A = this chain, B = another copy of it.
Amino acid sequence: MPDWGKQGVLTQAQAETMAKFLQQEPPAPPEMSLEQMKETWKVTIAPEMRPTEPQHSRDWEDFFAVTLRDSGEVAIIDGDTYEVVNTVKTGYAVHISRMSATGRYVYVIGRDGRASIIDLWLEKPEVVAEVKTCYDARSIEGSKYKGPEGDFSDKYAIVGCYWPPHFVILDGQTLEPFKIVSTRSYTYDTEEYHPEPRVAAIVASHYKPEWIVNVKETGQVWLVDYTDPIAPSIKMLEAERFLHDGGWDASRRYFLVAANQANKVAVVDAKEGKMAALVETDKIPHPGRGANWIDPEFGPVWSTAHLGDASLVAIGTDPEGHPDSAWKVVRNVPVLGGGSLFVKSHPNSPWIWVDHGLNPDEKVQRSVCVIAKADPTKTEKCWEVADYGRAVHFEYNREGTEVWVSVWGRADQPGKTGEIVVYDDKTLAEVARIPNLVTPTGKFNVYNTVHDVY
């Protein structure tokens, strides 16, 4: 504690009062019931009042949902014309946007627990429903399975909360919440009760009517069958602490998730419903959804860079075709610096892109690098994306020909609040700037997010 007594900030009596206050047991944070959630639930356009076909001629499957972090908004931007089609009010500091199975709807979750659904078929895409299911949240997803067990496209949504520690199942079109499941349980390794196991990444399986729910503090991956969502069936896999973010391998069978404080990547086999591997990485892997590519020597790999190390690792993901490389770090490529938040690639791209948004060095913060798939031993090229802010997060357009990079500025610095820089993916030449955005961060292309292309 600072020496506020010596500094004269507090009197002796005030210091004693402060000391007594600090010694009190802090009260437990409030819970949230279904009734409380429903009080926040608003449907501004009911499903039956929504259009039955797109009300505009834009290529909505090439729209990008862009998080404007500090303004509590999402910008819907046209991938063909770079025009901001609409900017909609959402929860604060949106952590992620996910598309419904058809791509028509964008599910958005604010860090404040406010979930929103945006209808891209409206003449002007707009929030059509919202609800607050947590005080603190990071994840949202739709139901994507369509197959012998049913068509669950756009049917349900799920929100994962940090507090209260639970997940909530909602109607996929209205966001009406109807089922809450607590994640409070025991750590997978020492089997100690944990009162606050936060829900990190959630993804929808392509193999089964199932969500993969990553529970951070207990190190468990829960496979949540949503066939009968009132009575969900949950398989509780043991993975590693502290699960954070991750994505699919190229086959969409394996989900790779960073256990960031354990310096590991946990691999879930979504087809068999079990753990496939735990892979040791460098310090604090932070993949976003990661990057898939075909290594010239080791075959299909999935990559992550790190918050704590200046490196990108590639992990073999093809146990059948390349058993010797499977679930091993087959490449460790030095990058410009640590503090990397995201990597990205595309099946059509010659590159793997890497950012360093949380690097302490200002020049590194605003730089991105590319590694050539043809020679994945070094970075091919690095450059500063802007002369201010942090360069962060990549997304490809629908065709995989252009890469969008965010310049995350400061909301209180006019002219330097942020922008998106668009590059030609073949030549790395700058194609366009989408200016005057307030702290843009994550960007989610409709087609690529529906089909998990990355």
The residues of A with any CB-CB pair to B shorter than 8 Å are: 25, 31-35, 164, 166, 179-182, 184-186, 190-193, 228, 230-238, 274-275
- 13 more contacts with CB within 8 A, not counting A34-B192, A182-B186, are A31-B192, A34-B186, A35-B192, A180-B185, A181-B186, A182-B182, A182-B193, A184-B185, A231-B235, A232-B235, A233-B234, A233-B235, A234-B235
- Residues of B within 8 Å of A33, CB to CB, are 186, 190-193
- Most B-side CB within 10 Å, residue of A164, A190, A193: A193
Chain B's closest residue to A180 (CB) is: B186
Asked whether A181 lies within 8 Å of B185 as measured between CB atoms, the reply is yes
Assuming the contacts A182-B185, A185-B181, asked whether A193 and B31 have C-beta atoms less than 8 A apart, the reply is yes
Chain B's closest residue to A184 (CB) is: B184
Assuming the contacts A166-B186, A186-B166, asked whether A181 and B231 have C-beta atoms less than 8 A apart, the reply is no
- Residues of B within 8 Å of A166, CB to CB, are 185-186, 193
> Can you list 28 A-B pairs, Cβ within 8 angstroms, ordered by A?
A25-B25, A33-B191, A34-B186, A34-B190, A34-B191, A35-B192, A164-B193, A166-B185, A166-B186, A166-B193, A180-B185, A180-B186, A182-B184, A182-B185, A182-B186, A182-B193, A184-B184, A228-B274, A230-B238, A231-B235, A231-B238, A231-B275, A232-B235, A232-B236, A233-B235, A233-B236, A234-B235, A234-B236
Chain B's closest residue to A177 (CB) is: B191
Assuming the contacts A35-B190, A186-B166, asked whether A274 and B231 have C-beta atoms less than 8 A apart, the reply is yes
Assuming the contacts A231-B237, A231-B238, A238-B230, asked whether A180 and B191 have C-beta atoms less than 8 A apart, the reply is yes
- Residues of B within 8 Å of A25, CB to CB, are 25
Chain B's closest residue to A178 (CB) is: B191
Query: Which are the 9 A-B pairs with shortest beta-carbon distances?
Result: A34-B191, A182-B185, A233-B235, A33-B192, A31-B193, A180-B186, A184-B184, A231-B237, A180-B191
- Residues of B within 8 Å of A231, CB to CB, are 235-238, 274-275
Cα(A185)–Cα(B25), bound, Å: 24
- Most B-side CB within 10 Å, residue of A33, A35, A191: A191
Cα(A185)–Cα(B236), bound, Å: 15
Chain B's closest residue to A194 (CB) is: B182
Cα(A231)–Cα(B237), bound, Å: 5
Chain B's closest residue to A197 (CB) is: B182
Cα(A186)–Cα(B228), bound, Å: 17
Chain B nearest CB from A18 CB (Å) reads 21
- Residues of B within 8 Å of A179, CB to CB, are 191
- Residues of B within 8 Å of A275, CB to CB, are 231
Cα(A190)–Cα(B181), bound, Å: 13
Chain B's closest residue to A185 (CB) is: B182
- Residues of B within 8 Å of A181, CB to CB, are 185-186, 236
- Residues of B within 8 Å of A164, CB to CB, are 193
- Residues of B within 8 Å of A232, CB to CB, are 235-236
Cα(A274)–Cα(B228), bound, Å: 10
- Most B-side CB within 10 Å, residue of A33, A179, A180, A231: A231
- Residues of B within 8 Å of A230, CB to CB, are 238
Chain B nearest CB from A415 CB (Å) reads 47
- Residues of B within 8 Å of A233, CB to CB, are 233-236
Cα(A166)–Cα(B193), bound, Å: 10
Cα(A236)–Cα(B186), bound, Å: 18
Cα(A236)–Cα(B167), bound, Å: 14
- Most B-side CB within 10 Å, residue of A181, A182, A235: A182
